[in-house]
Amino acid sequence: MQNLQWYPGHMAKTRRLIEANLKLIDVVVEILDARIPFSGRNPHFDDIIKNKPRLLVLNKADLADKNRTKLWIDWYAEQGLKVIPISCTTGMGINTVIAEARALIQDKIDRERERGRNRTLKIMMVGIPNVGKSSLINRLIGKASTKTGDKPGVTRGKQWLRIKGDAELLDTPGILPPKFEDQTVAVKLAYTGAIKDEIMNTELLAYSLCDYLRDNYPNELCTRYKLDTVEGLKGYEVLEKIGKKRGFVISGGEIDMERAANMVLDELRGAKIGHITLETPSQLNEQE
């Protein structure tokens, strides 16, 4: 697998924007992709945000493995972090986001109310690219006022937005770490589309994805692509069988592996293979 790095100039600018505005903020809402609840976090956020109250939101929970989502909610609770699963597609959990964020500073709100002041809750929204921040904001404010897209790097600049229920939201563009210390993290980000496909070898990416699915979701893989078994096969052999089943045959009887790779990645991202989560807390411990 190639060494993946992707850090456009606007991401460095975003870090400075977050640091400059943090003093104005009550609560940071960090959006994660529920399919990569650990790899989908920018580890630099801990240094930037420090002790500011933080709510973790697992978006795309409708695409993820529910049993694994529960494991991650419990794991983060042990780290002292509140996590809620949501789906911007179905609307699941959206109405709880502001209430849970407010609950993190309820004591402060109550103290100010006793002094006769009504506090406007100020939230900063952060996350890596392509986790659905703009979609969540549009849900929260009830209209499409921010650009959304299924490719990383759509949101740019600083936007303050008014939310129903006496709250204001500062949106920030998605930001990845400037360097991936662990390439397995980078690969998982690439699986879900947080890193642009254009900068990577999608065939190699699909090979490693097929390896993971073979070991963790063999039934879903076989059912989706009508395979008898994937046991004992290497990732590229699994992809080759998939390409053959789908009729991706080119001249000389060879399989169009690039086409098969792009299809498998697209179908993972669209949950057509099944409800897939690409890591568990126990697998994280094994890696360490």
Cα 220 to Cα 33, 35, 239, 253, 282, distances in angstroms: 20, 15, 14, 27, 21
Distance of alpha carbon 213 from alpha carbon 271, whole angstroms: 13
Partner residues linked to 59 by β-bridges? 33
Distance of alpha carbon 27 from alpha carbon 163, whole angstroms: 14
Phi/psi for 287 (5° steps) reads -65, -40
Distance of alpha carbon 62 from alpha carbon 144, whole angstroms: 21
pLDDT category at 179 given cuts 50, 70, 90 is low
What does the pLDDT look like over 8-32, one tens digit per residue?
Answer: 555 677 778 888 889 889 999 999 9
Quick one: which H or E segment has residue 124?
A: strand 121-127
CA angle 164, 87, 36 (to 5 degrees): 125
Instruction: Specify binding-site residues for GTP.
Output: 59-62, 130-135, 174
Half-sphere exposure at residue 198, Cβ-oriented, CA atoms within 13 angstroms: 4
Bridge-based pairing of strands 54-59 and 27-33 is parallel
Domain assignments of the chain as residue spans, ordered by start: 9-171, 201-282
User: In this predicted structure, what is the pLDDT of residue 163?
Assistant: 85
Distance of alpha carbon 42 from alpha carbon 244, whole angstroms: 38
Is the pLDDT at 47 greater than 60? The verdict is yes
Is the pLDDT at 156 greater than 60? The verdict is no
- What are the percentages of helix, strand and coil residues in the chain, rounded to 5? 45, 10, 40
**Residue 97 identity:** V
pLDDT category at 180 given cuts 50, 70, 90 is low
Is the pLDDT at 134 greater than 90? The verdict is no
CATH classification of 9-171, choosing from 3.40.50.880, 3.40.50.2300, 3.40.50.300, 3.30.360.10? 3.40.50.300
pTM of this structure: 0.86
Give the residue from 112, 95, 89 showing the smallest Cα distance to 34. Answer: 89
Is the pLDDT at 178 greater than 80? The verdict is no
Phi/psi for 84 (5° steps) reads -130, 135
User: In this predicted structure, what is the pLDDT of residue 144?
Assistant: 46
Instruction: Specify binding-site residues.
Output: 59-62, 130-135, 174
What does the pLDDT look like over 183-223, one tens digit per residue?
Answer: 888 899 899 988 877 777 899 999 999 999 999 999 999 99
Listed in sequence order, the residues at least 6 apart from 22 whose beta carbon sits closer than 8 Å to its beta carbon are: 28, 48, 49, 52, 124
Is the pLDDT at 142 greater than 50? The verdict is yes
Distance of alpha carbon 50 from alpha carbon 101, whole angstroms: 17
Share of the chain above pLDDT 90, in %: 55
CATH classification of 201-282, choosing from 1.10.287.180, 3.90.550.10, 3.40.50.12280, 1.10.1580.10? 1.10.1580.10
What does the pLDDT look like over 95-110, one tens digit per residue?
Answer: 999 999 999 999 998 8
